[in-house]
A and B are shown apart, each in its own frame.
Chain A
């Protein structure tokens, strides 16, 4: 623990702390441009100079480059150091365009702050300014190179930290240029972070360009609900509209950065087509009237068919409050038990993942960075949860080995081993890895079941697995790793795979004393949905109940099955059989258009809420704004708005749980009281929530919900056999893409062009067997219709598999629930 003195104040810091960080711990903020805690020290900008008066280092030196050591005496205010810093700022400002009045960074610009703070008030330089040509970098960022002060943060983040190569440094000397090799859309799905880390206005947020200064915005902490990771953001609101999101530091979850889907995925909240009025039979009615009508209709159905004929469906994007209230109200009213997840398989996988997240195994997103071997089963990080790919890259940069077992064509921004195996075999290989990576001795401490399980696993050596050698190699590496981590998806994998992934993690932990387990889940609050769901409940079952006449009224709470239900025709026919369709939502979905009664609900920005991410971390979001039609819309784009009236237009929306409470005639009191009432009910009733504090007392990084170890869930021997040989059939797997498949972000105009073109992936050798070539227009005949899309032949994916993104422009919902198997003869080229 080095002890040093900075500006006459003593401090002990951890070994290898830089002086700039040691000063920060004392609350002394040494100027910096190139230094960034996540990107480290490089000593390029020279503005963090301080004077070392005593100790092992002497003179004016860069505080970011020198480790704090014993006996150091440092002055940040020494005249020589201050004069040097003033010169550095003067040099940086020589060529700066001084265009702060028209620069979006103005007001939160580090360069502005440093120029003023550094005392560089008067310009002495008489020469001409250097100018650059700006580039088109796509829909998310505006490029303005003249403002650049060459701190190299952008290229370091883009290339070193996030692993993409299309933006970087070019030219040299005082012509050094940061940008792409030519105009074009940035390839990295983390590019938005450039606007956060750029210390001046070279990269500014394009969708919110010229809309406001930092101080014009209501800024509010929030989290991202565009995938299950729950990254922290700051929402910026102006004129009743979320205009911009930035990354918010979180020690446990996302660190300093977020992905572009998360950063720009909020525009669904302010869409002009968003319905803000309650509607009955397509006509706008006052809210209370809609409640009244609905109550009557429900009562009528209840009288005729029994209250069980009323089925409610929540979703993985509901807040916990809504999910809980839904459960509560269904119980009170005797309605059918609510479902939250799309089909039986997903419900089962999410529930088993939740039960297997034992406290000793579960790791946070940040802890992924510390692993030295990451084994991924059936997950496509960059497409399903981009920030996971970024965390994995940090592990890779520290030397971790990474292997992915997945049938899809996986692309990640770092070197890794990809074994493209069919879904049927994932569980088998997971078990094979247990056998190769863990010795039998280590198994014993896990008990008799574990030993029996271990002995049942077939030996890799004696088998004819297609990837036998690679599995043995991976097993060997896993065996020698110190801090292994198992990552497992829950979307496309078989029901046994999350189980075997957890078993593998358990065995590794028994052998090494340390191992991590990290699941991805289908939705921001899929964890909550899984906790509230009974294993037999799913939307799939609800559809069956509609088909067999048991359900006559369907209430969809922030759920649009038209987005994700794999069989659209069946869904339509089922809905046609209903007497009553009720939709609560904040997006104008296909389901909402079919509703007999529609209630507008609030977004998380308008109401706040608690969401549980995929590791079980319950995180609270405060309300960021009072809902209503954005002023730009009410004013027709003019300012000030030309519509006058009392109250806020479009204010009718309420939280979904409030509307539910009204339906159940719960005593309304105040909103806060109601909220804590349902919260307390949940803590008392639903297992797993008992450890949560009263609402409003969740810390910033949330609290992890822990169900404890559940030994009964372990070591099921299901799935450790070779999958059936599909011979002449292909398995069709609908998958997620970074952009264009996630429901909320798909509403965002600025992300629209970033989604790839709709297509179907097929292994190149399979394509050759069928005489198909890359780019052919395919027709795939399924039992429920024909899917047409362009073929993309990939070398690096599993043979016997067809991968189809759930692209909004692709009419893919033509499969039955469960596996879609396509005989070879049904795949044709359209000529």
Chain B
């Protein structure tokens, strides 16, 4: 069955193996790189990406063009470009699929973005569970190097860049930009509060641009087809490009789908993910990974774009849609997610390190029949105070709780009044 929408990032997707360098070239790969080395200045590249309104695909949706432009003209050298492949947001697996689909698309994206800031060294920071992905990068980078796309004087130009693959020791917080930089420098992966921003003083005090795998993968296409084309890919006015949605949970065909930004949630679930599994009704979903608030059924038709979700009190995040049905206890789900965040806190600031375990304790009590009415205002107040933590980890960690409290308070109360979880038979 032919895909309903144009496949850009997944153009060479095939079961069981990656696209080779040859296949990537045949689909137009490395044309963008050749073009920019011939006739684009670094500024041209920055402007094209900014014009395309490419927003960071790692979850924070920071404008990629703005990030590139924030490296000052007179900033010192060497400069670094870092590809964040530490995909640890629960429910998210798009980067893994991308790496296993078309690694050269990512490599080309890194080179072009590197050129835009005149970076000399590229680093792919990859989570340890993605060892097969790291090996793909190791191998394909060598192939790209032999083909003249990496190393000294790329394609005969004056621009030189090489990429190394750095395997993370594996913590969720390593996905946070400043924590990742600390990890790369061999320090504890504690976040660092800007300023200075990494593009000003990043790795070893030098300008460093860090972006997500999917963000880099978009870049060659923007250069090749232009920013207007890219914006036109989206279904919404404000959106731009396609987005890889990772659908999981109570649907018939979970998986990774490349769809235009702004595709409706209902369409994603019903058409692309095959609908809810038999006997299940849609109760809620996490629209963008574990650190986004639940979306209740009233948003079932929402257009999946950054702005629309923000207006609905949630976030597009990484685009990882976890679908829950009417038989699933959302208190238990929130408790489960909170357990994850309790474990993954870096331990730097008090609200995150101590506040999250407190929240977990209260949720555990509610779920296990020890809940009290007074826990609800406590939970609400604490989750608000967790926004005053050091970095964005804690606000993300309490997002499911926020959704639970605003849309499913009744379910919480039912746990408390029944003195047990109503979804459990005993």
Contacts and interface: CB of A to CB of B under 8 A. Distances in A.
B345 A172 contact: yes
Interface residues of B, number: 30
B193 A44 contact: no
Given A43-B193, A87-B381, A173 B350 contact: no
B24 interface: no
Contact of B361 (A45, A60, A127): A127
B193 A65 contact: yes
Interface in B329-365: 342-351, 353-358, 361, 365
Interface in A28-68: 43-47, 49, 60, 65
B302 interface: no
A46 B357 contact: no
Interface in A660-682: none
Contact of B349 (A46, A87, A125, A172): A46
B349 A173 contact: no
Contacts of B353: 91, 150, 173-174, 176
Nearest to A152: B348
B346 A173 contact: yes
Nearest to A93: B354
Contacts of A150: 347, 350, 353
Contacts of A125: 358, 361
Interface stretch (B51-59, B212-220, B382-390): B382-390
B390 A60 contact: no
A75 B108 CA distance: 52
A174 B345 contact: yes
A172 B388 contact: no
Contacts of B347: 150, 169, 171-176
Nearest to B347: A176
Interface in A167-204: 169, 171-176
A95 interface: yes
Contacts of B342: 173-174
B60 interface: no
A87 B345 contact: no
Contact of B358 (A44, A94, A172): A94
Contacts of B326: none
Instruction: Decide if the interface of chain A is mainly helix, strand, loop or mixed.
Output: loop
Nearest to B354: A91
Given A44-B348, A47-B350, A87-B382, A174 B357 contact: yes
B188 A169 contact: yes
Nearest to A89: B350
A44 B390 contact: yes
B378 interface: yes
Given A43-B193, A43-B349, A174 B354 contact: yes
Interface string A118-132: 000000111100000
Interface string B309-345: 0000000000000000000000000000000001111
B415 interface: no
A161 interface: no
Interface in A103-130: 124-127
Contact of B350 (A46, A126, A171): A46
Nearest to B188: A169
A127 B193 contact: no
A573 B400 CA distance: 87
Interface in B239-273: none
A86 to B, nearest CB: 10
Nearest to B365: A126
Contacts of A169: 188, 347
Contacts of B171: 172
B357 A127 contact: yes
A45 B351 CA distance: 8
B354 A173 contact: no
Nearest to A47: B350
A175 B344 CA distance: 11
A79 interface: no
Given A45-B349, A125-B361, A95 B388 contact: no
A124 B378 contact: yes
A88 interface: yes
A830 B365 CA distance: 73
A92 B350 contact: yes
A66 to B, nearest CB: 11
A88 B345 contact: no
Contacts of A83: 381, 385
B357 to A, nearest CB: 5
A165 B347 CA distance: 20
A84 B349 CA distance: 14
Interface in B46-95: none
In the complex, which of the residues A91, A92, A126, A173 has the most CB atoms of chain B within 10 Å of its own CB atom?
A173
Interface of B: 171, 173, 188, 193, 342-351, 353-358, 361, 365, 370, 378, 381-382, 385, 388-390
Which 6 A-B residue pairs are closest in the complex by CB-CB distance?
A: A176-B347, A91-B354, A127-B361, A173-B345, A172-B347, A46-B350
Interface of A: 43-47, 49, 60, 65, 83-84, 87-88, 91-92, 94-95, 124-127, 149-150, 152, 169, 171-176
Given A94-B354, A149-B350, 18 more contacts: A45-B350, A46-B389, A49-B388, A60-B388, A87-B381, A87-B382, A126-B365, A150-B353, A169-B188, A172-B188, A172-B345, A172-B346, A173-B344, A173-B345, A173-B353, A174-B342, A174-B356, A175-B347
24 contacts: A44-B349, A44-B350, A44-B390, A46-B390, A47-B350, A60-B388, A88-B350, A91-B350, A91-B358, A92-B350, A126-B365, A127-B361, A149-B350, A150-B347, A152-B348, A171-B347, A172-B347, A173-B342, A173-B344, A173-B347, A174-B342, A174-B345, A174-B353, A175-B347
